């Protein structure tokens, strides 16, 4: 148990701690599922029930870190912004996801 | 996963997608979902995600076999029953992404999660608030039109209601002989 936890702590040094906020983790997890299709701003806002301010600023942080990119897409006659994970974003999400799984397993043992 | 059969369905519909178009990928995702609920075995797993009912496996196939999708290249042939289901779906929805999106989302709650109609409707409104009330109402009605199957109870009620008419028709037939 102790050695497991120590290796987890060691591994955590390779993670970007700036993604460890609930909203950013939710954004990464959701955009990882849709891959190259991404999701539109309006879909993310409705799904995560976020205010414009919270969604926009967190997407901005992820974009600045190079984990998310955006593009204009057409749906019917509407022009919308769609967000996708970059290769780096997908890589970071996999790292964080694996680490969180191990973390939960470690904490769950009696 | 039977990607060839998905392409055969699109071919039957006469829908030639352009994979770079966001709209066209919505149409494929939601059509496949509804066709599977309609009973066509295409083998794609769907979950409820930010895009509504969505299959990451199908997305991978679409990008991997982009040329086949765009050229509608397939060796698969649909059975007459499958072709009929595709034609019915086409007649109800056409290739309208908004309607398909609402209908597929409603279908997920009503037919997959088996929620009652009101709860399913509310869930669609919660996830797709950017669609107008009219778009949601039309999409929900079209999902019902495509997927509604009467229960045994409803069939029995219908049978009882129509029994006198049936008896009269049989009597007429005897008289005509």
Domains contained in chain A, CATH given: 2-108 (1.10.10.10)
Is A34–B126 a contact, with Cβ atoms under 8 angstroms apart?
A: no
Name the DSSP letter for residue B161: H
User: pLDDT > 70: what percent of chain B?
Assistant: 98
**Which of chain A's residues have a Cβ under 8 Å away from the Cβ of B97?**
75-76
Inform me whether the pLDDT recorded for B157 exceeds 90.
no
Inform me whether the pLDDT recorded for A73 exceeds 70.
yes
Determine the pLDDT at residue A6. Answer: 82
Domain boundaries along the sequence of chain B: 3-176
In angstroms, the separation between the Cα of residue B113 and the nearest Cα of chain A is 18
Determine the pLDDT at residue B170. Answer: 77
In angstroms, the separation between the Cα of residue A73 and the nearest Cα of chain B is 6
Average pLDDT value for residue range B73-100 = 93
Q: Token match 């056409």: residue?
A: B94
**Which of chain A's residues have a Cβ under 8 Å away from the Cβ of B22?**
37, 73-75, 82
Non-local (6+) Cβ contacts of B22 within 8 A are: A37, A73, A74, A75, A82
**Which of chain A's residues have a Cβ under 8 Å away from the Cβ of B57?**
none
Q: Where are the extended beta strands (E) located within B15-141?
A: 47-49, 52-54
Q: Which residue has the higher pLDDT, A60 or A11?
A: A60
Closest CB to A37 among B59, B127, B128: B59
- Token output for A42: 């309006």
Determine the pLDDT at residue B148. Answer: 81
Question: In sequence order, what are the beta bridge partners of B88?
Answer: none
Q: What is d(CA B101, CA A82) in angstroms, rounded to the nearest whole number?
A: 16
Average pLDDT value for residue range B98-123 = 95
Name the DSSP letter for residue B51: T
Determine the pLDDT at residue B156. Answer: 83
Residue among B15, B40, B13 at smallest CA distance from B25:
B15
Report yes or no: B70 and B18 within 8 Å, Cβ to Cβ.
yes
Is A35–B60 a contact, with Cβ atoms under 8 angstroms apart?
A: yes
SS3 for chain A is: CHHHHHHHHHHHCCCCHHHCCHHHHHHHHHHHHHHHHCEEHHHHHHHHCCCHHHHHHHHHHHHHCCCEEEEEEEECCEEEEEEEECHHHHHHHHHHHHHHHHHHHHHHCC
A9 pLDDT band (50/70/90 cuts)?
A: confident
Search chain B and give the residue with CA nearest A36: B59
Determine the pLDDT at residue A36. Answer: 93
Sheet holding A39-40, edge to edge: A39-40, A78-85, A68-75
* Residue B98 near chain A (CB below 8 Å): yes
Q: Hey, which of A10-19, A87-96, B162-171 has the most confident mean pLDDT?
A: A87-96
Non-local (6+) Cβ contacts of A89 within 8 A are: A28, A31, A32, A62, A66, A67, A68
Element (H, E) at B139: helix B133-147
């Amino acid at each position: 148990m102790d050695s497991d936890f120590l290796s987890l702590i060691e591994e955590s040094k390779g993670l970007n701690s700036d993604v460890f906020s609930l909203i950013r983790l939710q954004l990464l997890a959701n955009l990882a599922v849709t891959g190259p299709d991404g999701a539109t701003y309006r879909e993310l806002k409705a799904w995560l029930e976020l205010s414009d301010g919270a969604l926009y600023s967190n997407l901005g942080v992820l974009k600045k870190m190079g984990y998310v990119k955006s593009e204009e897409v057409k749906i019917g006659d509407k022009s919308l912004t769609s967000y996708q994970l970059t290769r780096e974003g997908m890589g970071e999400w996999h790292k964080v996801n694996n680490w969180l799984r191990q973390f939960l397993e470690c904490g769950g043992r009696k | 996963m039977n990607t060839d059969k998905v392409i055969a369905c699109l071919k039957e519909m006469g829908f030639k997608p352009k994979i770079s178009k966001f709209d066209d990928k919505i149409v494929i995702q939601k059509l496949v979902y509804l066709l599977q609920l309609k009973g066509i075995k295409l083998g794609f797993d769907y979950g409820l995600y930010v895009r509504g009912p969505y299959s990451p496996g199908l997305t991978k196939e679409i990008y991997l076999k982009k040329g086949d999708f765009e050229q509608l290249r397939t060796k698969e042939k649909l059975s007459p029953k499958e072709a009929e289901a595709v034609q019915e779906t086409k007649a109800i929805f056409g290739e309208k992404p908004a309607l398909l999106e609402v209908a597929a989302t409603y279908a997920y709650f009503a037919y997959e999660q088996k929620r009652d109609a009101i709860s399913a409707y509310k869930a669609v409104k919660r996830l797709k608030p950017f669609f107008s009330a009219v778009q949601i109402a039309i999409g929900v009605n079209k999902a019902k039109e495509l997927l509604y199957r009467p229960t045994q109870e409803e069939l029995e009620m219908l049978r009882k209601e129509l029994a006198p008419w049936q008896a009269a028709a049989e009597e007429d037939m005897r008289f005509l002989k």
